[in-house]
Amino acid sequence: MHPDSLDQFLRLGAATLIGMIIGLNRDLENKPTGVRTLGLVGLATALVTVGTLEFEPLGDDPDALSRVVQGLIQGILTGIGFIGAGAILRDRDSGDIHGLTTAASVWVTAAAGIVCGLGNWPLVVTAVVVAMALLISGHAIEATVGYCLSRLTARPRQEGEQAASEGDADPDDRKKSDH
């Protein structure tokens, strides 16, 4: 499974472009990682993946290649996890945590870079579409869900309280007059 030069270029270029697209979203949100950082994360992870696939001493032994690729994926995602952790900050005064989406963006960019390096194009396209949909619509989804939950958890007024606030002494009288 050794990609030729054009295929290598496609894999590295796609990973870089995906990182840049995800990074553009982070730049537009004024976040610390952006086009350059995430483009480089995508490129680096694809580069290591493609380079590993072409490691000559592995030869054509599928077991050896499988073990090396598994170790590669584990190593990259663990290392990227540490980089992403550096993006997470806690405000000392308010206790608010910032940077979780940026950290997740670094991680998903690395994962997409690995998958580009492996050449699994349907998986890459699906992942990028889902990731971008989340990044673009995430605020709206959170606001809508928050609003719906606040409406569901708000204490409903009792009929007696409502009637009393409207000036009716007896809630049953109000029901009769409505019909």
Span of 102-111, 116-125, 138-147 with lowest mean pLDDT: 138-147
Hey, where are the domains in the chain? 5-155
Mean pLDDT value of segment 131-138: 94
* pLDDT tens digit sequence for 143-163: 899 888 888 887 665 555 555
Q: What percentage of the chain carries pLDDT values higher than 90?
A: 44
CA angle 3, 46, 78 (to 5 degrees): 135
Span of 9-13, 53-57, 81-85 with lowest mean pLDDT: 53-57
Give me the pLDDT at residue 11, please. 97
Name, in order, each residue with C-beta under 8 angstroms of 36's C-beta and a sequence gap of 6 or more. Answer: 23
d(CA 28, CA 126): 23
